[in-house]
Amino acid sequence: MPSIDPSSSSNLKQQVSRSKIYQLKNCRLVRDGKIVKDDFWFRDGQILNPEPVFFTEKARADVTVDCQDALICPGFIDIQLNGGYGYDFSSDPEHLEEGVAKVSKGILSTGVTSFCPTVVTSSPELYHQVLPRLKPRPGGPEGAGILGVHLEGPFISMEKKGAHQPEFIRNSLQSVQDLSDVYGALDNVTMVTIAPELPGALDAIAHLANKWVTVSLGHSNGNLEDGEAAMNKGATFITHLFNAMLPFHHRDPGLVGLLTSRKVPHPVHYGIIADGIHTHPAALRIAHRTHPEGLVLVTDAMAAMGLSEGEHQIGQMKVNVSGQCARLVGSDTLAGSIVTMDYCVRQFIKDAGVSLVEAIEAATKHPALAIGHSHCKGSLNYGADADFLLLRDQGDSISILHTFIAGVCVYSAPTAPHLEYVHHHHTDKK
């Protein structure tokens, strides 16, 4: 049979049929917290349980693929991504669609199959322009899927603003109507980061949680008591733990203390930027060993992600990209993260000493749980979307070979072996 280049869209159209059963052989799967040797089946863009296919349908695979001992894991999910490849979702509405297209296509090579475009503290006018255009959408050859917008601000602490523009920060909410006045409609919103200590924040948190929006605490000067009150109103997440919040103190551990609080009625998830820069390896190890099930890897990447080394003009900023850092030109100030998700997975393994499976679950299973998409994303469970990666694993490290969305190969690394699709014609198939 001829060798098929999965990166070719014309070949993809020929290879994938909505009615065909695909069987990936000679592979290992990240499933149920471990690596198992098994075949991997999918049909109609969903992961398939082969047993009823054999015994009920009396069917066999229409297409088989030899994966050459590759490791298969769910596609990565990035729930905090501000931009990349020269585009910022918060600063250039005129080129928003172009920017989203560029970023969603670019991150396929990093293993990301779904993401939440993140809009940082902005003016109401920008929110009203941008949010209606950032609709959730399935992924495909054109790029990673959008699971909804993450709104990071503007209801945050001025003292913990980080790189957010101070002129747009709102330090209180008079009523939940302020949410509509600032954001407009919340139809496309999956997550909102808010500082829990602000006047009116607790009512806003309850309102958002009732609308099935994941509420995250961050950019906050609040103490542990503020955090516990917010969690009891429906907040479930902490934005980039350790960054833009009160530092851990033994008499008031701040929001970090939520990881072990006995006053929180539900599991807590928290984002970590595992780039070796924003979070010290020792802090990363402390967080993981304290509450491993809640750790969610995020890139928090900004527009300089994916750009070549050197000086770049991004919006009003001039930044210098060197290694895994982007700094404002003429200073030592970090302009934001520029790491990719596959880099974060590798760095997490290196810095925290976690297993390969633990690192993968922090980029797949945990973010899906955090935003309520675990029924269809973040696992290789039967019935889940067939968004998955073929990886080369060497020791405790990984590299992306092929990225699949809904069973379609949407990216292949230049050095990856071509996948050979072998078609079977079953004359006895019922």
Active site residues: 300
Does the annotation flag 334 for ligand binding?
A: yes
What are the backbone angles phi and psi of residue 160, rounded to the nearest 5°?
A: -120, 40
Distance of CA 362 to the CA centre of its chain: 10
For residue 262, give the nearest of 234, 232, 305, 299 by alpha carbon.
232
**Contact criterion met (CB below 8 Å) for 84 and 413:** no
Distance of CA 82 to the CA centre of its chain: 11
- The single-letter code of the amino acid at 393 is D
Distances (CA, A) of 98 to 112, 138, 215, 300: 19, 17, 29, 20
Instruction: Give the separation between CA 91 and CA 88, rounded to whole angstroms.
Output: 6
Does the annotation flag 274 for ligand binding?
A: no
Instruction: Give the separation between CA 214 and CA 130, rounded to whole angstroms.
Output: 20
Does the annotation flag 219 for ligand binding?
A: yes
Does the annotation flag 336 for ligand binding?
A: yes
- Whether omega before 247 lies within 30 degrees of 0, making that bond cis, reads no
Does the annotation flag 251 for ligand binding?
A: yes
Instruction: Give the separation between CA 228 and CA 257, rounded to whole angstroms.
Output: 9
Does the annotation flag 244 for ligand binding?
A: yes
Mention every residue, 6+ apart, whose C-beta is less than 8 A from residue 39: 23, 24, 25, 27, 50
**Binding region for Zn(2+):** 152, 219, 240
**Binding region:** 152, 163, 219, 240, 243-244, 251, 278, 334-336
**Binding region for substrate:** 163, 243-244, 251, 278, 334-336
